[in-house]
Amino acid sequence: MAEGLGRTVLFRHRYARIWGLGNRSSPAVHTPAFISTEGDDEACRELAAFHCIQTRTIPAQITVSTHHQLIPPKFDCPGPSMEASIGHVLPPSLDEANAGESADTGDLLPVSWQRLHHDSELLDEDLYPNIVVLVDAVQLAAQPGKLVKAIQTLKHRFPGALLWTPGLGGPDNLAVLAWFGVDLFDTTRVRLCLSTGHLLTSYGPRLPLADETCNMDAALHHYHQAIRTVQSAIKSGTLRRIAQQQSLNSPRLVEHMRHFDALSNSQKNVLRSHPSGIDTIEFMSQESHLDAEVSAWVKFMQERYTAPEGLDNTLVLLPCSDRKPYRLSKSHRKFIEAIGTNGCHEVMVTSPLGIVPRDLEDVWPAGFYDIPVTGDWTQDELSRIHSMIGSLVEHHNYQCIVNHSGLDIHIDGIDVIDTRKGDSSGSSESLKRLKEAVNYAKQNHHIHRRKGEVVNMDRFKSISRYLYGRDGWLDGCRIRGKPPRWKIEKDGKQIALWFFDRAGFSFSKEAILPLYENDILPKVHIRSDIKWKGDLHLGIIDSYDEDIQRAQDLMVVQDGKPVGLARSIAPGWEWSGTPGLLAKMHQKR
């Protein structure tokens, strides 16, 4: 790994990261950051993290330097300074051609679309660049899907590197590019706008007002404010909203966002297993319904979800509520009172998640999303809901469906009772019909009430299947305590606590063996020649499961034996090369 640039990830939000450059205890620079080029004045260079000079030779040479002290371990002199030849760069449309002069490989790594397709040196396991430069980013941005494909390929291949897309960034697309994973931004487009008498702002180029100056100082002010906004959004987990708003600056940005969503939906480990300090996920626009969180939830419900054992007799479909979890809302307290039994399978109908079973209403994202409620449904929302209900019925043995959702539901071969009949869900008439329909199901379909501890165990087993794919570690356990922090005990010993605020379990030392024996958690194997004393980083890791999610519990294994638990800080795609902390020790045997 290159040692010329001190850097550590301070905050993460999907592919967006805030890097601290320099001494990790007091970073000199935070990304996203400026990289100045030859057309910039001295004031811009002082503000920038790096400065780039490009020669006019063929092939061109680029040099990236910095006036900051970023060289570990002493951080006592300016640097590093990196040089590279960018080779012959053919247009992206000629991706099947192979240029004769290849680019250099080292701390500064120029990459083109063509090089991604032909240069085997990029696969070298010992290649750990400091900065990756996507030299034909502007050309890729003009071709559908290629820009986000190139960026995501580079992020996964070189997770420990800063990414720069020369000539592409500006205050009007910075949030979008940062969402994709770009770290460094230049002023090329800003200077182009100034040359035509325009200011480039977060909302695009515009003419200055009568009392405004149209110069680089004013332009840099807009740019710097955009960077600060993005940094704040990464910290708070709201960058998706900012990126969506900014994508409306041009049709091309909307296209990039849609291609990025489609690509992210195919990746397993870019999502969180629970909020990790993020309060809510926002689905404020139709574009947000394309988010990978939605696709992952829908896929799970359609392909892997199973209702608690013995509960798939009568299905009760209910509307959602603003308050999460739903059971705490006034409307759902009325529904639960009218239903009068916990022997039915209650499932909420909602957008954009489609359906949310009562036994999973506490998990991420079902218990933590926010969406505007108008009472109107789009055709896409209705299609998703009907498809998911169809899958739910197909995989279970429901004899009756009590439909209090307000939507028109028809399932061949199953008795569907509409309890709304056009009335509001909370009206006395519809609640009376709901109660009568459940009583009818009790008499005809043998609904049995469950004990309180059985309800809790069914819920935690369902949550475990959602989080880990299996629930064997809960066999023989008892549920103790009071909500919201339930205790899970086995053989009289506490093995876990349930924490709603992180939508997950907190395991004790006693849980290590049951979790290991039932193969519940992703595994991280650490080197045999070290004594594990603290957190996980690249230097002590031998191998790991690649589908690690951020904020997920991990089983730490050494010499084939479980030695403890850790909680991931970084998702699996970062583990191949990101310096610094990857997971924090949670328990040790």
Q: Are 446 and 502 in contact (CB under 8 A)?
A: no
pLDDT of residue 272: 60
Non-local (6+) Cβ contacts of 189 within 8 A are 167, 168, 169, 170, 200
pLDDT of residue 264: 86
pLDDT in tens, 437-461: 999 999 888 888 899 889 999 999 9
* Separation of alpha carbons 426 and 404, rounded Å: 10
Three-class secondary structure assignment of 256-291: HHHHHHHHHCCCCCCCECCCCCCCCEECCCHHHHHC
pLDDT at 98 over 80: no
Q: Are 234 and 244 in contact (CB under 8 A)?
A: no
Q: Which residue has the higher pLDDT, 356 or 551?
A: 356
Q: Are 452 and 481 in contact (CB under 8 A)?
A: no
pLDDT at 141 over 50: yes
CATH superfamily of 468-588: PUA domain (2.30.130.10)
Instruction: Give the strand pairing for 61-65 and 504-507.
Output: unpaired
Non-local (6+) Cβ contacts of 174 within 8 A are 32, 185, 202, 223, 226, 227, 230, 246
Q: Residue 250 — very low, low, confident or very high, per pLDDT cuts 50/70/90?
A: very high
What average pLDDT does the chain have? 92
* Separation of alpha carbons 395 and 302, rounded Å: 9
* Separation of alpha carbons 45 and 40, rounded Å: 7
pLDDT at 2 over 50: no
Three-class secondary structure assignment of 52-112: EEECCCCCCEEEEECCCECCCCCCCCCECCEEEECCCCCCHHHCCCCCCCCCCCCCEEEEC
Sign of CA dihedral 437, 443, 447, 451: positive
pLDDT at 1 over 50: no
**Average of per-residue pLDDT across 109-121:** 91
Flag the least confident range among 173-182, 218-227, 496-505: 496-505
Q: Is the pTM of the predicted complex or chain greater than 0.85? A: yes
pLDDT of residue 97: 63
* Separation of alpha carbons 136 and 143, rounded Å: 11
pLDDT in tens, 76-95: 999 999 999 998 887 777 76
- Nearest Cα to 166, choosing from 185, 144, 180? 185
* Separation of alpha carbons 428 and 332, rounded Å: 14
pLDDT in tens, 183-226: 999 999 999 999 999 999 999 999 999 889 999 999 999 999 99
* Separation of alpha carbons 262 and 244, rounded Å: 15
* Separation of alpha carbons 95 and 145, rounded Å: 14
Return the domain boundaries, the chain.
Answer: 7-89+103-264, 281-445, 468-588
Q: How is domain 7-89+103-264 classified at the CATH fold level?
A: TIM Barrel (3.20.20)
pLDDT at 65 over 90: yes
Flag the least confident range among 17-31, 346-360, 368-382: 368-382
Calculate what percentage of the chain has a pLDDT beyond 90: 77
- Nearest Cα to 82, choosing from 171, 143, 167, 4? 4
| Amino acid sitting at position 339 | I
Burial of 520 (0-12, 13-18, 19+ CB in 10 A): buried
pLDDT of residue 92: 78
Q: Are 303 and 465 in contact (CB under 8 A)?
A: no
Q: Which two tokens stand for residue 495?
A: 């093995």
Residues in the chain: 589
Sign of CA dihedral 132, 135, 140, 142: positive
3-state SS assignment for residue 3: coil
pLDDT of residue 274: 58
* Separation of alpha carbons 438 and 338, rounded Å: 9
Taking residue 586's Cβ as centre, other Cβ atoms within 10 Å add up to 18
* Separation of alpha carbons 185 and 44, rounded Å: 12
pLDDT in tens, 357-414: 999 999 999 998 888 877 778 899 999 999 999 999 999 999 999 999 999 999 988 9
- Nearest Cα to 362, choosing from 237, 455, 265? 455
pLDDT of residue 273: 56
**Average of per-residue pLDDT across 117-137:** 92
pLDDT of residue 276: 60
Q: How is domain 281-445 classified at the CATH fold level?
A: Rossmann fold (3.40.50)
pLDDT in tens, 522-538: 999 999 999 998 899 99
Q: Which two tokens stand for residue 498?
A: 């349930």
Q: Which two tokens stand for residue 237?
A: 């987990």
